[in-house]
Chains A and B, each alone.
Chain A
Amino acid sequence: MIADWSHQIVLTASILSWFIIGAGLAQTAIYLLQLIVAAYALSMRPPVARSALLWHRYGDVAPPIALLVPAYNEALNVVESVHSMLALEYPNFEVIVINDGSKDDTLQRLIDAFRLVKFHRPYEEELAHQPIRGLYSSPMTERLFVVDKENGGKADAQNAGINVCRAPVFCVIDGDSILEPDALMRAAQPFIDDPERTIAVGGTIRIANGSTIEAGRVREVHLPWRLLPLLQVVEYLRAFLMARLAWSRINTLMLVSGAFGMFRRAEVVAVGGFTKGSMGEDLDLVIKLHRHMRDTKRKYRIQFVPEPVCWTEAPETLSVLARQRTRWQRGALECFFRYRSMLFNPRYGRVGFLGFGHILIVDVLGPVAEVLGYILIPAFWLLGILSGEYLLAFTSLVFTYGVCVSVCSLVLEEAELQRFPRARDLAVLTAVAVIENFGYRQLNNFWRVKGWWQFLRGNQGWGEMTRTGLGGAKK
C-alpha cells in the first residue's frame, strides 16, 4: 500500500517536473529566438537620424495624425501633458483629449487653461461608446479638441476619440505620459516609407521616475531612485528592445502598447475599434487587426520602431504594481481565450504559431510553471526525489540565464537608443539585472498567478492606479 502511494507520488512528481522543465525550456527557446532576431533586426536598421534631418526629409509628406488622449481623473497632470503634446514637432496633427467622465476637475482645468468653448464638430458614430456630453475647442490653438463624455473606460474613450478624429492615422497615448518632441515624426516613418501596408506602429515606453521633468518635457534622464521602478526599467528594456523588436521583424508583433501606439484609422474602424471592458484593450486590438488582415488576405505590416520614446510613470509601491501586473495578466489571458481559435491555426500563419504560441508559453503557462517550480522543486528535494546537486546546478543556470537575457537587452539599448546618459547608469542597471532574479522575478510570477486566479473567478476590476504625477522635478 505504502509502496503504491510512494510510486504514485514519484509518478506525479515526474509529470509535474517535466511540465515545469518543458515550459522552462520553451520559454528559454523563445527568449533565445527573440534575442537573435532582435539583434539581426537591429543590425539591419539604419542608425538614428537627427530630428532636424527627419523634419527636413519627411516634413512635407508626413500624414496628418490625431493624438488621442483618454483622461480619467488626470487633473494632476493633464494641463501640462496637453501643453507638451501641443508642442510636439510634427507638421500636421491635432490633439483630442477625451475626458472619460472624470470625477475630479480634469475638464475644468482644461477649460480654464485653454479657454475652451463648446463646439459642434460633425462626426459619424462608427464605433459605439458612452454618450458624448460636449465637444470643446480652444481659441488659443486650432490643434486642440476636448471630448467630454460619460465614463465608459479607456477603450470606450478611445473609441469616442476615433469617431471624432478626421486624420487617416491616429496615435493613442496615456494622459500621464510624455512623448519626446520628435516621437510622432519617428513613429510616422513606417507610414511614410510603406504607406500601403503599414497599419500600426508601436514605439518604446520608458520609465520617467527619477528624471528631471520641466514643462511637460523630460529635460534630464536619470535612473529612478527607488528600487521598484529601477527594477521595472530593466523589465521594460527587455520587453521593448528585445521582444517587440524581434516580433516586429517577422511581422508577428502582438502588442502595440496603449500608452503609445499609432494606428491607421480605417482598419481600426473595420475591426470595431477597441474592445470595451477588455483588460488588455491594446493587445486585443492588435490581435483583431491581425485576424482582419489575414481573413481579408491583405498584405500588411504592424511594426515596432524603437526610437520614438514615450515616458511614463512606473508604480512605486508594491500594492499598485501588483494591481497593474495582475491586470496585465488577466488581459493576456482574456485575449488568449477570446481568440483561441487562432492558436496554431494555419489560416493565421506565423501569427497563429509564433504570436499565439508565445502568448501560450510566456503568458498562459509560464507563470504557473514557474511558481509551481518554486514550490515543488525544493519540496521534491526535501522529499529526496531530487538530488541537492541537481537542484543547485539548475537553479544557478536559471538565474544566470535570466541575468544574461537582461544584459543582452542592455546591449540592445546601448546599440540603439543610449537614453541613459552616464556610464554609471549602465553599471547600476547591470547590478539591477542581477538583483531582479532574487525576489522581484518571483514576486512578479506570484502576481501573474494571482491574475490567473482572478481571471478564473471572473474578476473584471481595473483597480486604482495611484499616481504621484510626473510634473515635478526629481522624484
Chain B
Amino acid sequence: MWYVWDLSILLGALSIAIMLILILRRVLQERRGTANADQRRQLLTALIAFTENRDREALKAAILAVPAGVAINAGFEFLSLLRGAEHDDVLAAFKECGMPARVGRQLERGNVAERIHAAEMLAALDSEDASARLLSALAEDRSREVRIAAAIALSDLGSLPLLDFVLDNIGVAGQRSRRVIELFRRFPRTRFNELAVHASRADGVPVVRAAAIEALARAGGFGFADFFASLAGDASPEVAAAALRALGLTGHADAPSILASAMASDDLDVRADAADAAGRLGLSELAATLAGLMDDEVWTVRYAAANTLRSFGQPGEKMLRAMAASDVSRSQRTASLILAEGPAT
C-alpha cells in the first residue's frame, strides 16, 4: 500500500523539481539572450561602420569583444550581403581574428544543425584548411545532412573530390535527398563529364541520375544533346523523363522521332514530359501524335499534349477547336477546357 503513496509522492516531487529547473534555466536563457542580442547589435554596427571607414583594427576589436558564436553568426549573415573588395576586407578581418578555426571546431563538435551551418560558413570564409576540414566531414560525419552540406561547400570552394567518392560518402539514403540536386547545380563546369558518366550508369540511383541530367541541361547546353538523346529511352522512367526534359531545353536533330516514340511509353511522366518537350521545341510535325495523346487516360498527359498543341499557334488551336466540336470524349473535353483557360469573357 505504502509504495503507491511513495510512488505518487515521487512523481509529484519529480514534476515540481523538473519545472523549477526549467523555469530557472529559462530565466538564465532570457538573460543570455538579451546579452547576445545587444552584442550582435554592437557588432553589426561596427561592421556597417567598417564599410564606410575601412578601419580594420577597430572592426577586429569589435569582433573579439563579442562571444565567438555571436561573431560567427552575425559575420556570416553580413558577409552574404557583401560583394567585391568590401567582402574581401571583412573576410580578412574575420580570418585574422581566428574565426575559421572556431568554425572548424564547430564542424567537428557541434550538433547537427551547427555542423551543417559550419560547413556553409567554412565555404564562405574560404580559409586555408577549410577544404581539409570539409573533406574530413564528408568522409566521417555520421549525419548524411552534414555530409551533403560538406560536399556542397567543397563544390563552392572548387575542391570537390571525384563524384563517385562524394556519392559513396553521402550514402544511398542521402542520395535520395533533393539537396543532391543543389550539389549538382553547383558542380564545376569543367568536370561536367563526371556528371555525364554518373547519369549514364545503369546501376546508379535513378533520382541521382535524373538530377545529374537536369544539372547538365541547365548549364551544359547543346554539347550534351546527343547524350540526352541516348538516355531518352532509358529503362528507368525517371531518367528517361529527365532526359526528355533536357532535350526540350537543348533540342536535337532526332528530337521528333525520339519524342514520338516517348509519347508511346507506358510511363505517364515520360509521355507528359515528351509532350511538353515537343512544345518547348515547337515541333509542330508532332501535332498528329499529340492529338492522339489527347485521349490518354491520364489527365496530366492530356493537359501537356493540349498545352503543346495550343503553343503551336493557329494550326494547333484549329485542331483543338475541331476536337472540342466533336462528339463527347476525353479529347473533346480536354480540348474544350484548354481553349477556355484564362479570364472568363
Contacts and interface: CB of A to CB of B under 8 A. Distances in A.
A and B: interacting chains: yes
Interface of A: 46-49, 52-53, 56-58, 60-61, 63, 117-124, 126, 134, 137, 191-197, 389-390, 393-394, 396-397, 399-401, 403-404, 407-408, 410-411, 414, 418, 422-423, 426-427, 430, 433
Given A46-B113, A61-B181, A426 B22 contact: yes
Interface in B6-65: 7-9, 11-12, 14-16, 18-19, 22-23, 25-27, 30
A49 to B, nearest CB: 5
- What does DSSP make chain B's interface, helix, strand, loop or mixed? helix
Nearest to B181: A61
B340 interface: yes
24 contacts: A46-B111, A56-B80, A57-B116, A57-B120, A61-B179, A117-B344, A118-B344, A120-B342, A126-B299, A195-B178, A196-B207, A393-B1, A393-B4, A393-B5, A400-B8, A400-B15, A403-B11, A407-B19, A410-B19, A423-B26, A426-B23, A426-B26, A427-B23, A430-B23
B117 interface: yes
Contacts of B303: 122, 124
B145 interface: yes
A198 B342 CA distance: 34
Contacts of B338: 122
A292 to B, nearest CB: 18
Given A126-B299, A194-B177, A423-B23, A407 B18 contact: yes
Given A120-B341, A411-B22, A426-B22, A49 B113 contact: yes
B113 A426 contact: no
A430 B26 CA distance: 14
B60 to A, nearest CB: 25
Contacts of A122: 303, 306, 334, 337-338, 340-341
B14 A404 contact: yes
Interface string B217-252: 000000000000000000000000000000000000
Given A191-B178, A422-B30, 4 more contacts: A46-B116, A122-B303, A427-B19, A430-B16
B116 A120 contact: no
Contacts of A63: 178
Interface residues of B, number: 51
Contacts of A121: 341
Contacts of B19: 407, 410, 426-427, 430
Nearest to B33: A421
Given A47-B113, A394-B4, A192 B22 contact: no
A192 B117 contact: no
B177 A193 contact: yes
A117 B145 CA distance: 45
Contact of A196 (B112, B145, B176): B176
Interface of B: 1, 4-5, 7-9, 11-12, 14-16, 18-19, 22-23, 25-27, 30, 77, 80, 111-114, 116-117, 120, 143, 145, 149, 173, 176-179, 181-182, 185, 207, 299, 303, 306, 334, 337-338, 340-344
A46 B342 contact: no
Top 6 nearest A-B pairs (CB, nearest first) are: A124-B299, A46-B112, A122-B337, A118-B344, A400-B11, A423-B26
B336 to A, nearest CB: 9
Given A61-B182, A414-B22, A49 B117 contact: yes
Contacts of A47: 111-114
Contacts of B114: 47
Given A61-B182, A120-B340, A192-B177, A46 B143 contact: yes
A134 B343 CA distance: 11
Nearest to A390: B1
Nearest to B148: A193
Contacts of B185: 60
A47 B116 CA distance: 11
Nearest to A413: B22
Nearest to B10: A400
Which one of A58, A126, A403 has the greatest number of beta carbons of chain B within 10 Å? A403
B18 A411 contact: yes
Nearest to A407: B15
B3 to A, nearest CB: 9
Contacts of A430: 15-16, 19, 23
Contacts of B340: 120, 122
Which one of A58, A122, A414 has the greatest number of beta carbons of chain B within 10 Å? A122
A400 B185 CA distance: 56
A47 B184 CA distance: 27
A269 to B, nearest CB: 10
Contacts of A134: 344
Contact of B116 (A49, A117, A123, A389): A49
B333 to A, nearest CB: 9
Nearest to B14: A404
Given A47-B111, A47-B112, A411-B18, A393 B8 contact: yes
Contact of B26 (A61, A191, A414): A414
A58 B181 CA distance: 10
Contacts of B149: 57
A240 B4 CA distance: 30
A427 B26 CA distance: 11
A124 B341 CA distance: 13
A270 to B, nearest CB: 13
A427 B25 CA distance: 12
Which one of B18, B306, B341 has the greatest number of beta carbons of chain A within 10 Å? B18
Contacts of A403: 11-12, 15
A63 B11 CA distance: 46
A58 B30 CA distance: 30
Which one of A48, A390, A414 has the greatest number of beta carbons of chain B within 10 Å? A414
B163 to A, nearest CB: 18
A90 to B, nearest CB: 15
A396 B1 CA distance: 12
Contacts of B15: 400, 403-404, 407, 430, 433
Contacts of A426: 19, 22-23, 26
A426 B20 CA distance: 9
Contacts of A418: 26
Contact of B178 (A48, A192, A393): A192
